[in-house]
Amino acid sequence: MQRFYRRLSPPRAARYNEYRAFLRYEFRFLCSYCGIHEDEYGVFEVDHFRPQARFPQLESDYANLYYSCRRCNNYKRDFWPSAEDEAAGLKFIDPCQEDLLGVHAEVLACGALRAKTPAGDFTIGHLGLNRSALARWRRKRREQIQRHYEAVAGFKETLTSFDEVLREVEGGRAKLPAELVARLRRSRADCEIQLEEVLQHFGPVQKPIDED
């Protein structure tokens, strides 16, 4: 569950489902609660963050509408914490205000979420964020990130080796045929391009959290 930033101001609609196209784009085709993509779980719905049964005045309020996979929406439904719960810090993490991961929870090696705050525990429990399918999905993602981390580290190590050799040549401390030096420069440039492609595909590298 990541934080989303609203940037659209769609024209006012009479029915909340008319905002669906805007919400799909705004939430980048991801479930605002579990983070799964449409391509990985095809059934998505418009959710009322504050349930319309409890807050009917917000039924068509765009700021209260979130893009959600059906599973998360079914878990959440019309549930909302009581005033006593909220006073004790038991509340849903608003994905447009906070990031669940980091402050409120972390991903373990097994793919499960471990709460770090009462709000994190409340959100994980009431949205079913530790259901087995999600844990498997996170574990797979973790493995992909680990491979990405290792690939980036390998590319950077190779670039460092190229740079060391080229510095030796340029400083006159090593002599290599001009053709070989040119080949080294081309190989270094190719390696840099490949590294950039990996970073663009996966985003910034963050080492996965290890389970205690």
For 2-6, the CB contacts below 8 A with 24+ separation are: 2/30, 2/35, 2/95, 2/99, 2/100, 2/101, 3/95, 3/96, 3/97, 3/98, 3/99, 4/28, 4/32, 4/95, 4/96, 5/96, 6/63, 6/96
Report DSSP state, residue 209: P
The first and second tokens of residue 19, run together, are 């905002």
pLDDT at 202: 58
152 plus 126 within the same structural domain: no
Residue 2 lies in a domain: no
pLDDT at 104: 96
Residue 193 sits at φ, ψ, to 5 deg, of -65, -45
89 plus 180 within the same structural domain: no
pLDDT at 121: 97
35 plus 108 within the same structural domain: yes
107 plus 182 within the same structural domain: no
Residue 58 lies in a domain: yes
126 plus 195 within the same structural domain: no
pLDDT at 164: 87
Instruction: Mark the ranges of the chain whose per-residue pLDDT is less than 50.
Output: 204-212
- Which domain-ending residue is among 91, 106, 130? 130
pLDDT at 185: 86
118 plus 39 within the same structural domain: yes
90 plus 173 within the same structural domain: no
- Which domain-ending residue is among 103, 130, 157? 130
21 plus 123 within the same structural domain: yes
Closest to 50 measured CA to CA, from 80, 5, 28, 9: 80
* Report field, pTM of the whole predicted structure over 0.75: no
In total, how many domains does the chain have? Answer: 2
pLDDT at 4: 94
Contacts of 189 (CB under 8 A, 6+ apart): none
- Which domain-ending residue is among 110, 130, 150? 130
Residue 149 lies in a domain: yes
123 plus 20 within the same structural domain: yes
State which residues form the domain around 187. 142-202
109 plus 147 within the same structural domain: no
152 plus 125 within the same structural domain: no
Residue 135 lies in a domain: no
